[in-house]
């Protein structure tokens, strides 16, 4: 039999648009000779709908759209993920549509409540398997987290299943695909059943979904691998315990992460209907990478870079910015902040009398730039994207209401050392970032001869501490025991702790690690806890 995997890009709350995508997948499946179409988890409403699920009108609209969809393909069997409400109780459900109606409904049994997941806030768990027959084959529906535990798979096998079908909305992070292979492989080994993993694709706020649907035959071999970060309707053949379908080429980690960033920008801009983006271009590596990502995501003609030099801006920064613009093809303008900075200093001089210049004046320059970008955004409707990386966001090496001002933080979850890796990968496909930008020591250029490493530990050390303390919850003592300098560890951990108030006011950005400074980082601003260093 042929099964159509509808790896589609849905939008939360867009019932009409999501249903249209499902209908298109049904049409392609019919043309390919498939008798079963499978969509991702909560495909009808988009994932994650968050507190929209608490609204009765949201659930009612979902139910109405599901009934309309069932009538569209009476000749096909279609598995659709959707929310289901019975009175005051809600379920994360998957329905089998067939014969013009809703034939069966399965309720997700295991509800994740960690990292970015809050499903126990919204749903009640199911407790029964759902096995149905198509072309003489018995297929079990499961939903995402179900198969991260052995019981639902064993339950499905006991109910007579010949194939485990898993529909998913599993947010991407760097190690996620290998984790899926490992866990799904365990379920195949335990049950002796083949497994088809169907996954959504696209960006939803800070989350990105990588697609990469796959099928494992009963012997544990990979017989189908969908594309990563691309929509598709793939035809997969199921016969004698074997799954066979297209095999996408494997990607390097750098290419996968870059695709994740492009997807996050494209869908945030597109789904929120912004005409384009604005960014401050400094001639540094971070803003250069952001410019390249945005150009690849939405087209260079919709990307407007603004160079805002001050008295501390090196001439090579302007030259390099112009070269980045030439290589990427993005739009460019230049607005000097010097007269505005002079006016601010003049106005503040009586209040600052007798005090030397310090970070106040440095931050003032950044806030002037932020104000100029936001003014352009107000006038022309473009989204301001910020260019700060995770190393800076972690340690507070960023200016509140300055370079943090904007609507979307493209590389918010990318540490500085990874920035360099991504730039090298992107230049390997076609050069868009000048070598001098890569080779120059990073600098905010807010005072004479300023370098990032004047204020921060070396990025190789800083990034390692951020990963271990913030992403892995290691203690400072554990990090020091791995050979890192105790003073550097203490300093980085202190900076992470005291800059929570800044991060709480930062825009959302693409999540690519198991823990980003977003939905899965929920530390209090006011806290007396001090880690032992």
**Token pair belonging to 239:** 């016969």
- Taking alpha carbons only, the member of 436, 485, 477 closest to residue 460 is 485
- Residue by residue, DSSP assigns 396-447 as T-S-TTTTT-SSEETTTT--HHHHHHHHHHHHHHS--S-HHHHHSPP---SS
**372: exposed, middle or buried (Cβ count in 10 Å: 0-12, 13-18, 19+):** middle
Instruction: Pinpoint the alpha helices (H) of 164-284.
Output: 176-191, 253-271
Q: Give the three-state DSSP class for 196.
A: strand
Active site residues: 41, 108, 144
3-state SS class at 485: coil
Q: Of 245, 138, 148, which Cα lies nearest the Cα of 190?
A: 148
The angle formed by the CA atoms of residues 221, 222 and 226, to the nearest 5 degrees, is: 175
The long-range contacts involving 135-139, CB below 8 angstroms and separated by at least 24 positions, are: 135/1, 135/35, 137/1, 137/162, 137/163, 137/238, 138/162, 138/163, 139/36, 139/163, 139/165
CA distance 82 to 41: 7
CA distance 237 to 245: 6
Neighbour tally for 403: CB within 10 Å: 26
CB 331 within 8 A of CB 305: yes
Task: Provide the 8-state DSSP code for 307.
Answer: E
Cα–Cα distance list, 455 to 101, 171, 359, 472 (Å): 64, 34, 11, 25
Starting from the edge strand earliest in sequence, which strands make up the sheet with 277-280, in order? 331-334, 303-307, 277-280, 383-386, 408-409
d(CA 358, CA 354): 12
Q: Are 168 and 146 in contact (CB under 8 A)?
A: no
d(CA 199, CA 169): 6
């Amino acid at each position: 039999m042929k099964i159509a995997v509808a790896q589609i890009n849905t939008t939360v709350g867009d019932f009409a648009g999501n249903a249209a995508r499902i209908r298109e997948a049904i049409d392609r499946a019919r043309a390919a000779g498939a008798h079963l179409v499978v969509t991702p988890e909560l495909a009808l409403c988009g994932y994650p709908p968050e507190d929209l699920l608490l609204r009765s009108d949201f659930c009612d609209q979902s139910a109405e759209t599901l009934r309309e969809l069932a009538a569209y393909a009476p000749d096909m069997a279609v598995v659709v993920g959707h929310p289901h409400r019975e009175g005051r109780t809600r379920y994360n459900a998957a329905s089998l549509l067939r014969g013009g109606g809703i034939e069966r409904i399965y309720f997700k049994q295991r509800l994740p409540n960690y990292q970015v997941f809050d499903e126990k806030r919204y749903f009640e768990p199911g407790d029964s398997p759902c096995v149905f027959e198509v072309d003489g084959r018995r297929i079990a529906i499961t939903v995402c987290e179900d198969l991260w535990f052995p019981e639902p798979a064993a339950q499905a096998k006991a109910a007579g299943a010949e194939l485990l079908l898993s529909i998913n909305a599993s947010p991407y992070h760097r190690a996620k695909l290998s984790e899926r292979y490992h866990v799904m492989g365990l379920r195949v080994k335990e049950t002796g059943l083949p497994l088809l993993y169907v996954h959504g694709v696209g960006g939803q706020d800070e989350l990105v979904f990588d697609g990469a649907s796959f099928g494992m035959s009963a012997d544990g071999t990979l017989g189908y691998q969908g594309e990563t970060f691309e929509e598709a309707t793939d035809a997969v053949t199921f016969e004698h315990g074997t799954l066979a379908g297209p095999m996408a080429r494997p990607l390097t980690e750098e290419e996968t992460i870059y695709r994740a960033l492009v997807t996050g920008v494209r869908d945030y801009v597109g789904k929120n209907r912004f005409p384009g983006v604005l960014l401050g271009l400094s001639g540094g590596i971070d803003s250069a990478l952001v410019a390249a990502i945005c150009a690849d995501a939405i087209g260079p003609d919709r990307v407007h870079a603004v160079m805002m030099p001050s008295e501390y801006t090196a001439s090579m920064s302007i030259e390099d910015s112009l070269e980045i613009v030439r290589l990427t093809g993005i739009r460019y303008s230049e607005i000097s902040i010097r007269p505005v900075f002079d006016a601010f200093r003049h106005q503040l001089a009586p209040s600052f009398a007798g005090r030397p210049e310090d970070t106040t004046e440095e931050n003032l320059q950044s806030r002037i730039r932020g104000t100029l970008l936001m003014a352009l955004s107000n006038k022309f409707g473009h989204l301001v994207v910020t260019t700060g990386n995770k190393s800076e966001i972690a340690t507070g090496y960023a200016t509140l209401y300055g370079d943090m001002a904007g609507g979307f933080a493209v590389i918010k979850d990318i540490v500085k050392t990874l920035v360099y890796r991504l730039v090298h990968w992107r230049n390997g496909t076609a050069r868009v970032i000048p070598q001098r930008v890569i080779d120059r020591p990073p600098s905010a250029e807010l005072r004479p001869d300023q370098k990032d490493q004047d204020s921060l530990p070396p990025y190789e050390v800083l990034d390692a501490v951020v990963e271990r303390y913030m992403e892995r919850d290691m203690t400072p003592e554990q990090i020091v025991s791995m050979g890192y300098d105790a003073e550097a560890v203490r300093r980085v951990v202190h900076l992470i702790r005291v800059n929570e108030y800044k991060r709480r006011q930062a825009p959302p950005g693409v999540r690519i690690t198991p823990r980003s400074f977003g939905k899965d980082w929920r530390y209090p601003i006011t806290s007396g806890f001090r880690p032992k260093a």
